[in-house]
Structure 1
């Protein structure tokens, strides 16, 4: 059953929708946008619901007030975790992993607009996004070891090495140090550094939303699915995926536009 984007009304962050682009904005700027138990759960639920919201074609993930996200709230998450029993701890860590799983499972490409502080769970959210743009002010830190926790948090040991390489990921996860915007761009974590990261992220999301949506969905699915298979298997998977895309009306429209020497008008079907 399809959901209307207007029905997605979260309580713990801002949500807006305009012509195919949904924007999530963490909005606790006075604390650099930390997460709480409730916002974790609500983000997880929103990304699960996006699988059933076809009008949303692309997502922008941002923070308010010049920072992206400072991670789990020290007083509302970290403190309570020190007093939690085994069952509670396991429930919490499973939920945080479910957020990353939901981000990867939702078909829409996710564009992260990173400025200022991007730390802990905030760095994980950036990592789990499909595309990342940085403001010059961006400082990204997987700082779990600095609070006595493993760098193996929310899929970081699996996903981060695939983005920046094993050695660089190991350094960030062991030391918890900040990665500057310039370093992140050089290492491939950020696609590019831009002056107005929010405007550029919206423009990129608009470009994707106006493009061949089913083809974008297939690309996201295969980028994840092919992590775990041999090249031979990947070739077979991509042959099947591309054949599916060749059945779409957007593929036909692209051919007709090319033949007529005009730009295609993709409809997403």
Structure 2
């Protein structure tokens, strides 16, 4: 029998996020599924210095949020995200020195690092424009639902920057292959929804009017699963990129043994014996 977490340990490491009040994005959480919405639809949901920082801090905080089991990342209106706001970000960056610019680029990269490090699966619901940093947010998610009218563009090259932004040169080739990633990063061209599904960038395409509902429904399935084990799966998917096959096999042996200590593992066995669906509790 697994004992409950001591109150003092829980107080320092469990910080519920369902009631979080966002300032620069929109946030809601129902039954363990959080929906994080980029909410500037009149300008295709661009990011600002403030929203970058809030996203970084929010995803970092999710590492300690036992009440959030899956996250849907979406854009308000008919678009996902047009990238960094030209007037609020790009303009102010002109003329800054290297130390100040590095403060900005490190902050943007920390958003992706925090998305990868949080244990909850992140599902991007991508409709319409998904460009620049918006394409990066979709790329950094664990799963991507798109629409036929999705327009994804890693357009850094078109504004005089390298394609190596926020981890793109590491993450994108692993999603769609080295050659295809190179084409997108060298040219900044738009990847349409159907092509994106063929290339493996999108897991599936959904009708625009059903996109958010279907993404949330799938997230609820994930949230109803063995969430501790799901977090281990996400961790291993990320960490094993830097391992040999032998190292990965041993790491997975240790990870699976840890999952076998959970109540959810026993619950699944009891449900199988009793010929019913298991009800997981995430511990």
Kindly indicate whether the alpha-carbon contact (under 8 Å) linking 1:20 and 1:209 is maintained by their aligned counterparts in 2. yes
- What is aligned with 2:130? 118
- What is aligned with 1:106? 118
- What is aligned with 1:214? 228
- Structure 1 residue aligned with 2:90, among 59, 74, 78? 78
- Structure 2 residue aligned with 1:237, among 244, 251, 255? 251
TM-score (norm 1): 0.99
Distance 2:18 2:128 in 1: 30
**Residues 1:155 and 2:142 aligned together:** no
Is there any run of 5+ residues in structure 1 with no aligned partner, and where? Answer: none
Distance 1:265 1:4 in 2: 22
What's the CA shift for 1:161?
0.2
Backbone CA RMSD of aligned residues = 0.8
Between stretches 4-13 and 159-168, larger displacement belongs to: 4-13
Distance 1:124 1:183 in 2: 17
Distance 1:183 1:246 in 2: 40
Q: How does 1:12-27 map to 2 (within 5 A)?
A: 12-27=24-39
Distance 2:253 2:15 in 1: 31
Distance 1:247 1:53 in 2: 21
- What is aligned with 2:41? 29
What's the CA shift for 1:108?
0.6
What's the CA shift for 1:200?
1.1
What's the CA shift for 1:7?
4.5
- What is aligned with 1:59? 71
Q: Deviations over 1:2-27 (max 9, x none)?
A: 22224422210100010101110000
- What is aligned with 1:50? 62
- Structure 2 residue aligned with 1:200, among 173, 189, 214? 214
Distance 1:84 1:157 in 2: 25
**Residues 1:144 and 2:162 aligned together:** no
Distance 2:165 2:150 in 1: 21
**Residues 1:38 and 2:50 aligned together:** yes
Q: What SS does the aligned partner of 1:16 have?
A: strand
